[in-house]
A and B are shown apart, each in its own frame.
Chain A
Amino acid sequence: MGLLSRNATCNTHGQDSSYFLGWEEYEKNPYDEINNPDGIIQMGLAENQLSFDLIESWLAKNPDATNFKREGQSIFRGLALFQDYHGLPSFKNAMADFMSENRGNRVSFDPKNLVLTAGATSANETLMFCLADSGDAFLLPTPYYPGFDRDLKWRTGVEIVPIKSTSANGFRITKSSLQEAYEQAQKLNLKVKGVLITNPSNPLGTTTTRTELNHLLDFISCKNIHLISDEIYSGTVFTSPGFISVMEVLKEKNLENTNVSKRVHIVYSLSKDLGLPGFRVGVIYSNDDIVVAAATKMSSFGLVSSQTQYLLSSLLSDKNFTANYLKENKIRLKIRHKKLVSGLEAIGIECLKSNAGLFCWVDMRHLLRSNTFEAEIELWKKIVYEVKLNISPGSSCHCNEPGWFRVCFANMNEETINVALNRLKMFVHGMSSTTRSQSEHQRLKSLRKMKMSNWVFRLSFHDREFDER
């Protein structure tokens, strides 16, 4: 008898994917300006390290937020005991306001419809448990965050069917791609329970357009299914077009308080906007009371530490702080984004035009040996092991077309980006000579077969080709 469950023994956790393997390489040999200048630069981690100073200076001015005091009185006991899955009211109020602020106060969020969870990872899984049974499917536009394969499918038994998008139209979601995905699910005998999008998109770094949002709402209305909008990057929109939340579109279409609006759910987190992934703060927002009630009970499996709820409720209640932070954060992201984009341009590498996120969706199709995913992985391995940059290959994000890579820019300082760009420059320039040496390689291979001695072969052949070792 199998002693462990299928969950424990399978690899639906998805962690054998290259997305995670790149991380492992980095762990073995991490770049450090001083201690390890030849190490691997981490460009595969979508972290926001650009605005910590703003939070640190707030913390220095507001010591009570962390020392268990409120107006000089100890509140330790209250917090130590606070495990109510409805969450700290002051924190939910502050979160609702912050989410509203992120949307230019064009929509408002009722704290009673908010459910707190230990990160968006927990929020997304919980929503799956609430909306789908094992064997049901959700449609996701590709490319998408690799973690979804684990978060949405692993323990829930839910399936993901891709809504395929292509570079032909900037990876936009179209009516026909939605319909095609739906039909594909039916062919696979899967009951579609909804669509899940990330807006702004990871890995594209683009905000979803009003047209796309309208298509999505029409689609879920007509199919009578759910729409989950993971808006975890909503505070990282640094240039036009601005951020449009699905909540705004519901309002514009006069669909608030209708059955459709009950099938639209938002996921949020402080891991990207505020750069606090370690604190495990996620949120589900739903207009459906039953979903809120069920998700609230399920949040027992991943509550936010009361110590952390208290700190963040103080932070986010400070409107001076939040207004300044949101503004400054965007300015810094914009600058850093520009640095990466122009640096890549100078090497002849283009990016998808983006206005949000902590990364660029980089077009390296022209550097592929062939228009295949094998060639993409080959290129990726070179970039990881030789150029020593950990970037994420598009195939790990289920991209349809080989040659795209997600490259992060907000988790390192300016000098490090410069180093990364320089390395890439050298690699790309070296590559054009590699193309020469490739045909040379082919010639030498046939020569070898004509019995040239090994030592001649070894001298002329570069170490770089793994498959020849």
Chain B
Amino acid sequence: MKQLSTKVTSNGHGQDSSYFLGWEEYEKNPYDEIKNPNGMIQMGLAENQLCFDLIESWLAKNPDAASLKRNGQSIFRELALFQDYHGMPEFKKAMAEFMEEIRGNRVTFDPKKIVLAAGSTSANETLMFCLAEPGDAFLLPTPYYPGFDRDLKWRTGAEIVPIHCSSSNGFQITEAALQQAYQQAHKLDLKVKGVLVTNPSNPLGTALTRRELNLLVDFITSKNIHLISDEIYSGTMFGFEQFISVMDVLKDKKLENTEVSKRVHVVYSLSKDLGLPGFRVGAIYSNDEMIVSAATKMSSFGLVSSQTQYLLSALLSDKKFTSQYLEENQKRLKSRQKQLVSGLESAGITCLRSNAGLFCWVDMRHLLDTNTFEAELDLWKKIVYNVKLNISPGSSCHCTEPGWFRVCFANMSEDTLDLALKRLKTFVESTDCGRMISRSSHERLKSLRKKTVSNWVFRVSWSDRVPDER
């Protein structure tokens, strides 16, 4: 008899994808400025390491928050026992206000409609359990965060049907693409329960436009389905434009307190804006009481540690800190993004014009041997194993066009980013000039070889660099 569940024996966790394999390579040989300067530079991890100093200095001035005290008195017992899945009221209030602040206080969030979860990983899965049955589908615009394959589908049995976006219009969501995805789901005999977007987008680094948001709200209205907006990167918007949340659009369209607004849910987390993925803080925001109620009970499976709720409620309640942090964070992200973009430009590589996120969506189509995903993976392997940069290939994000890569910029120092850019530039330059020559050379040598030139001649003239010839 089969001993373990099908969840365990299938590959639904999605972790055989290259997204995760690149990580493994990095783990084996991680770059260190001093100890391992030739190691792999991690550019596949969307972490925000730019503003820790701001939090550290706040912690130094506010020691009670971490040491389980309030006004100098120990509140250890209270925190040790606090396991109410409704969450710490002060923390939910501070979260609601922080979310409002990020949206320029144009919309309000009611703390009673917030459900805390152990990270947005947990929040997204919980929403799936609340909104979909096994076999139901959610539509997601491509390219999307590879983790969704696990988070949304693995244990829930839900399916993802892609909304194909292309570079021809900057990967924006179109009405045609939405309809096509919906019909595709029908062809596959899947009941569509909703659309899930990440705004700002991972991996694109772009915020959804008002036009796209209007399209989405109209679409879910007409199909009577849900819209989940994962706004985990909302505090990383550094462009000239303001971040527009789906909540803004509901307000502008005067749809607040309507049936449609009950089908719009926001997911948030402190892992990207505040750079605290280790603390496992996520949130679901919904206008539907039943969902809030069900999700609250489900949060039992992933509550936020009371120790952490307390620390962060103190941090986020400090409005001086939050406004200074948000402003400074944006500045630093903007300058780091610029460093990456211009560095790539000087290597002849362009990026999708972005205004948010911790990464750029990089166009390396011109470096592909052929316009295929095999060629993309070939290029990716070269970049990982030879250039020693772990970046994420577009195929792992379900991009429909080969040649795009997500490259992170906020998880390393300026110097490391410089070094990475130098390595890439060197690689591109050798490939560009080298390739034209070496390819025809390669062909010639191959035929020569067939004409019995001895192996040692072949080996001496041929570079190690192309693995398929080893």
Check: A94 CB closer than 8 A to any chain B CB: no
Residues of B within 8 A of A302 (CB): 118, 122, 301-302
- In A3-28, the 8 Å CB interface with B consists of 3-9, 13, 15
Query: How far apart sit A224 and B278, CA to CA, in the bound complex (Å)?
Result: 39
Interface membership of chain B positions 57-84, coded 1 if the CB is closer than 8 angstroms to chain A and 0 otherwise: 0010001001110000010110111110
- Interface stretch of the complex, out of B127-135, B382-390, B434-442: B127-135
Q: How far is the CB of A422 from chain B (nearest CB, A)?
A: 25
Q: Which 3 A-B pairs have the closest CB atoms?
A: A306-B278, A278-B306, A302-B302
* Residue of B15, B301, B308 with most chain A CB atoms under a 10 A cut-off: B301
The residue from A1, A8, A47, A308 contacting B130, defined by CB atoms under 8 A apart: A8
Q: Are A80 and B278 in contact (CB under 8 A)?
A: yes
Q: Tell me the complex Cα distance, A59–B74, Å.
A: 10
Instruction: Decide yes or no: A278 and B278 within 8 Å by CB, A7-B294, A47-B81, A291-B4 being known contacts.
Output: no
- Main secondary structure, interface of B, reads helix
Known: A80-B278, A263-B3, A301-B118. A155 touches B298 (CB 8 A): yes
- Are A279 and B278 neighbours in the complex by a CB distance under 8 Å? no
Q: Are A278 and B83 in contact (CB under 8 A)?
A: yes
Alpha-carbon gap, A278 to B275, bound state (A): 23
Nearest B residue to A13 via CB reads B297
Interface string of B1-26 (1 = CB under 8 A from A): 10111111000010100000000000
Q: Specify which chain A residues have a CB less than 8 angstroms from the CB of B295 in the assembled complex.
A: 8
Secondary structure class of chain A's binding surface, majority of residues: helix
Q: Which residue of A is nearest B132, CB measured? A: A5
Q: When the two chains form their complex, are residues A305 and B280 in contact, meaning their CB atoms are under 8 A apart?
A: yes
- Knowing A275-B81, A278-B306, A305-B308, say if A133 contacts B74 (CB, 8 Å): no
Per-position 1/0 for A275-290, Cβ under 8 A of B? 1111110000000001
Q: Which of A121, A130, A279 makes the CB contact (< 8 A) with B300?
A: A121
Nearest-CB residue, chain A, relative to B223? A1
Question: CB-CB < 8 A to A74: which residues of B?
Answer: 56
Instruction: Report yes or no: B305 in contact with A279, Cβ–Cβ below 8 A.
Output: yes
How far apart are the CA atoms of A300 and B276 in the complex, in Å? 15
- From residue B281, how far is it (CB to closest CB) to chain A in Å? 8
Q: How many residues of A contact B (CB 8 A)?
A: 70
* Contacting pair B307 A305 (CB below 8 A): yes
Which B307-340 residues have C-beta < 8 A from chain A? 307-308, 311
Whether B118 and A311, one on each chain, are in contact in the complex, defined by CB atoms closer than 8 angstroms, is no
Q: Check if A5 sits within 8 Å of B133, measured CB to CB.
A: yes
Of A63-71, A320-328, A398-406, A438-446, the segment with at least 4 beta carbons within 8 Å of chain B is A63-71
Given the known interface contacts A49-B81, A307-B279, the answer about A59 and B68 at a Cβ–Cβ threshold of 8 Å is yes
Confirm or deny: A125 has a beta carbon within 8 angstroms of a beta carbon on chain B.
yes
Q: What is the CA–CA distance of A275 and B133 in the complex, to the nearest angstrom?
A: 37
Is A364 an interface residue when CB atoms closer than 8 A count as contact? no
Which A residues lie at the B interface, using CB under 8 A? 1, 3-9, 13, 15, 47, 49, 52, 55-56, 59, 63, 66-68, 74, 76-77, 79-83, 118-119, 121-122, 125, 129-134, 136, 150-151, 154-155, 191, 224, 226, 263, 271, 275-280, 290-291, 294, 297-298, 300-308, 311
B302 partner residues in chain A, CB cutoff 8 A? 118, 122, 301-302
**Are A306 and B279 touching (Cβ within 8 A)?**
yes
Interface centre among A56, A263, A307, by most chain B C-beta atoms within 10 angstroms, is A307
Set of chain A residues within 8 Å of B68, measured between Cβ atoms: 59, 66
Shortest C-beta distance, A103 to chain B (Å), equals: 24
The reply to whether A150 and B300 form a contact with Cβ atoms under 8 Å apart is: yes
The answer for the CA separation of A279 and B401 in the assembled complex, in Å, is 45
Q: Which one of B47-55, B90-98, B362-370, B462-470 is at the interface?
A: B47-55
Instruction: Assess the B129–A280 pair: CB atoms within 8 A.
Output: no
The smallest beta-carbon distance between B92 and chain A, in angstroms, is: 15
Establish whether residues A83 and B7, one from each chain, have CB atoms under 8 Å apart when the complex forms: no
CB distance from B352 to the nearest CB of A (A): 27
B291's partner among A8, A263, A301 (CB-CB below 8 A) is: A8
Q: Given A224-B1, A291-B4, 14 more contacts at CB 8 Å?
A: A1-B224, A6-B133, A9-B290, A66-B67, A77-B52, A82-B278, A83-B271, A125-B301, A150-B300, A151-B300, A191-B1, A290-B4, A300-B150, A307-B311
In the bound assembly, the distance between CA atoms of A155 and B154 in angstroms comes to 13
Q: Does B303 contact A (CB under 8 A)?
A: yes
Q: Does B263 contact A (CB under 8 A)?
A: yes
Q: Which residues from B are CB-within-8-Å of A125?
A: 301
Chain B residue with Cβ nearest A76: B56
Once the chains are docked, how many angstroms separate the CA of A134 from the CA of B155?
11
**Contact check: which of A47, A68, A291, A305 meets B66 at CB < 8 Å?**
A68
Determine how close the nearest CB of chain B comes to the CB of A283; give it in whole angstroms.
Answer: 15
CA gap between A306 and B304 in the complex, in Å: 11
Question: Do A130 and B80 contact each other (CB < 8 Å), given the known contacts A4-B290, A305-B280?
Answer: no
- Tell me whether A121 and B301 are in contact (CB under 8 A): yes
